[in-house]
Structure 1
Amino acid sequence: MRSFRWPPPPDGGPRTWGPGPGGPRNGRPALPEPETELVATPHGVRLERLVTGTGEPVTVFAHGLGNGIATTRPFGSGVTGRKVFFQFRGHGRSEAPEGRWSYLDLARDLRAVADLSGATRAFGASLGAGALCRLLVESPERFERLVFFLPAALDQPRAPVARAGLDELLSAVESGDASAVAEVVAAELPPAVRNTPAGWAYLRQRLDHLLRDGLAPGLADLPGQVPLSDAGGLAAVTVPALVIAVEGDEVHPVEVAEQLANVLPRATLHRYARPGMLWTERADLRGRISEFLNG
């Protein structure tokens, strides 16, 4: 039986147990990481930021829980203008202030980065979608176009499976055991991708970031919180919005995306049939996002 294993093959793999030919080898070195910067914010938390592209418009990209700049950049590959990626507090090189964090704190992080860069459009994935919703309740006209990718919660807490998954990831990262972290991160990949060169590349990249920068323990409380007390407050957001959902994802229930699309007056909802569309529907997903944001 062929299965995922760790550590990875030294020559780029993949490798599988048992008889049969090995997978294709790719000896090309990984591209160097782009240089990021730490920026000061009005609320006193320095955040890691990466700016790519040139010109207008400016789009800010907010990542999901336990992820960061590297996993968010592919969403902006076809988006014109400047693209601003950042790390929420407790992720990457961003600071992790003491005390309990809330979605209000995340919304402040997002607003600060957007204001400093003059962003007029926003993309939020999972946790980032929740932070974007929290910002919009206070400032419904802050952005001209919005994309919500796999929203995980609005006015109800996230499912227990999401909390368990984060606890497992935080524990593995805190242990510093690469094998333990790899086993948790591998679950993010569709089974068909896990033993492919693309899967190994993703896994290596995620491990490099998580083991180098870690994740702050303060993130553990977030899955039990809600971005909004009442999702109805988003009815004041009258700008065009694209909501992207997927069937069969317990961490990002399609019902949350449906609720969000129903409450936003000018929202379009698109559903994918099964999880893993970043791998199986990559071109369609990127094209859909860029076509909407480029307007």
Structure 2
Amino acid sequence: MRGFRWPPPPDGGPRTWGPGPGAPRTGRPALPEPETDLVTTPHGVRLERLVTGTGDPVTVFAHGLGNGIATTRPFGSGVTGRRVFFQFRGHGRSDAPPGSWDYADLARDLRAVADLEGAGRAFGASLGAGALCRLLVESPERFDRLVFFLPAVLDRPRGEVARQRLTALLEAVESGDASAVAEVVSVELPPAVRNTPAGWAYLRQRLDQLLRDGLASGLASLPEQVAVPSTDALAAVTAPALVIGCVGDDLHPVEVAEELAAALPAATLHVYDRPGVLWSERADLRTRISSFLNE
């Protein structure tokens, strides 16, 4: 039986125990991170940003909790026009204002980046989906096309699993112990992927970013927050929306995706039948997102 090990084999492994071939197994290494810049927002918080592509339309991409630009870029690989990726406060090189934060603060970050770049379309994953919902409550006509990937929270706080996972990640990152961070991050991977070259490449990329940039303590209170006061507030959003959920994801209950799709007047819901869709349904997911946004 294979088990998770850190540090990884020096040749990229994985290794197996018992008889069998022992030659190094190669995998495609993670791509080097591109150059980003820091932009000053009207509310005084500097945010890390990356702009790729050219021309119109412009799409802004909002990442999940504890993630960032690197993990969000694959969602935009087939999207036409300019693609704007950024890091929320407390992530990457973005500022971490003192105190705790709520979804209104995250919505302010998202709005600032979208306004600075003139983005007319928006993608939000998990935490980013919640921030996008909050922005739409305040400005329902701000975007003309919307994608929500694995929404995690609407008008009820996230569950105990999410709180425990975030606490463990914050404590591991604060300790600076690579093995502790790797143990927490490895849970993001489906069991079948954890000890493969692709899994190791993902872990290395995530650890490099987390141990270099850290995560701000202000994020700790977010699992106790709600994104919107009531889903009824989303009834004024008339833009076409694609909501993507999956069955069996403890951090992103499929019921949240269903509720969001029901609350948005022009939403299409797609539900995958198992978690880990970034690994098991990657090509279909990219095509689904790009086809919708490129219409």
Give the TM-score normalised by structure 1. Answer: 0.98
2:37–2:48 Cα contact (<8 Å) kept: yes
Which residue number corresponds to residue 246 of structure 1?
246
Shift of 1:31: 3.2
Counterpart amino acid of residue 106 in structure 1: L
**Aligned sequence identity (%):** 82
Shift of 1:24: 5.4
Instruction: Look up the SS of the partner of 1:179 in the other structure.
Output: helix
CA–CA distance in structure 2, aligned partners of residues 29 and 64 of structure 1 = 23
Instruction: Look up the SS of the partner of 2:188 in the other structure.
Output: coil
Instruction: Look up the SS of the partner of 1:190 in the other structure.
Output: coil
Counterpart amino acid of residue 37 in structure 1: D
Q: Decide which moves more: 247-256 or 30-39.
A: 30-39
- Give unmatched runs, 5+ long, in structure 1: none
Shift of 1:110: 0.1
1:16–1:195 Cα contact (<8 Å) kept: no
Counterpart amino acid of residue 86 in structure 1: F
Counterpart amino acid of residue 287 in structure 2: G
Shift of 1:27: 7.3
Shift of 1:22: 4.0
Structure 1 residues 166 and 27 mapped into 2: Cα distance closer, same or farther (>3 Å)? Answer: closer
Instruction: Look up the SS of the partner of 1:162 in the other structure.
Output: helix
CA–CA distance in structure 2, aligned partners of residues 22 and 261 of structure 1 = 49
CA–CA distance in structure 1, aligned partners of residues 233 and 69 of structure 2 = 29
CA–CA distance in structure 1, aligned partners of residues 103 and 31 of structure 2 = 34
Which residue number corresponds to residue 187 of structure 1?
187
Counterpart amino acid of residue 173 in structure 1: V
Which residue number corresponds to residue 226 of structure 1?
226
Instruction: Look up the SS of the partner of 1:221 in the other structure.
Output: helix
Which residue number corresponds to residue 119 of structure 1?
119
Shift of 1:141: 0.5
Structure 1 residues 23 and 282 mapped into 2: Cα distance closer, same or farther (>3 Å)? Answer: farther
CA–CA distance in structure 1, aligned partners of residues 226 and 139 of structure 2 = 18
Instruction: Look up the SS of the partner of 1:140 in the other structure.
Output: coil
Structure 1 residues 211 and 279 mapped into 2: Cα distance closer, same or farther (>3 Å)? Answer: same
Shift of 1:100: 1.9
1:14–1:195 Cα contact (<8 Å) kept: yes
CA–CA distance in structure 1, aligned partners of residues 112 and 58 of structure 2 = 14
Which residue number corresponds to residue 272 of structure 1?
272
CA–CA distance in structure 2, aligned partners of residues 266 and 159 of structure 1 = 28
2:46–2:95 Cα contact (<8 Å) kept: yes
Which residue number corresponds to residue 55 of structure 2?
55
CA–CA distance in structure 2, aligned partners of residues 67 and 30 of structure 1 = 16
- Alpha-carbon displacement from aligned partner over 1:39-79 (angstroms, at most 9, x marks no partner): 00000000000000111100000000000000000000100
- Alpha-carbon displacement from aligned partner over 1:108-147 (angstroms, at most 9, x marks no partner): 0000000000100000000000000000001001001000
Give the TM-score normalised by structure 2. Answer: 0.98
Counterpart amino acid of residue 165 in structure 2: G
Instruction: Look up the SS of the partner of 2:116 in the other structure.
Output: helix
Structure 1 residues 100 and 30 mapped into 2: Cα distance closer, same or farther (>3 Å)? Answer: closer
Which residue number corresponds to residue 79 of structure 2?
79
2:29–2:201 Cα contact (<8 Å) kept: no
- Alpha-carbon displacement from aligned partner over 1:207-258 (angstroms, at most 9, x marks no partner): 0000000000110000000011111100000010000000011110011110
Which residue number corresponds to residue 174 of structure 2?
174
1:3–1:17 Cα contact (<8 Å) kept: no
1:23–1:196 Cα contact (<8 Å) kept: no
Shift of 1:16: 2.8
Structure 1 residues 132 and 114 mapped into 2: Cα distance closer, same or farther (>3 Å)? Answer: same
Counterpart amino acid of residue 208 in structure 1: D
Which residue number corresponds to residue 13 of structure 1?
13
Which residue number corresponds to residue 150 of structure 2?
150
Are residues 1:107 and 2:107 paired? yes
Runs of 4 or more above 4 Å deviation: 27-30
- Give unmatched runs, 5+ long, in structure 2: none
Which residue number corresponds to residue 294 of structure 2?
294
Counterpart amino acid of residue 58 in structure 2: V
Counterpart amino acid of residue 86 in structure 2: F
Shift of 1:23: 7.1
Shift of 1:20: 2.8
2:47–2:94 Cα contact (<8 Å) kept: yes
Structure 1 residues 43 and 81 mapped into 2: Cα distance closer, same or farther (>3 Å)? Answer: same
CA–CA distance in structure 2, aligned partners of residues 249 and 263 of structure 1 = 21
1:40–1:46 Cα contact (<8 Å) kept: yes
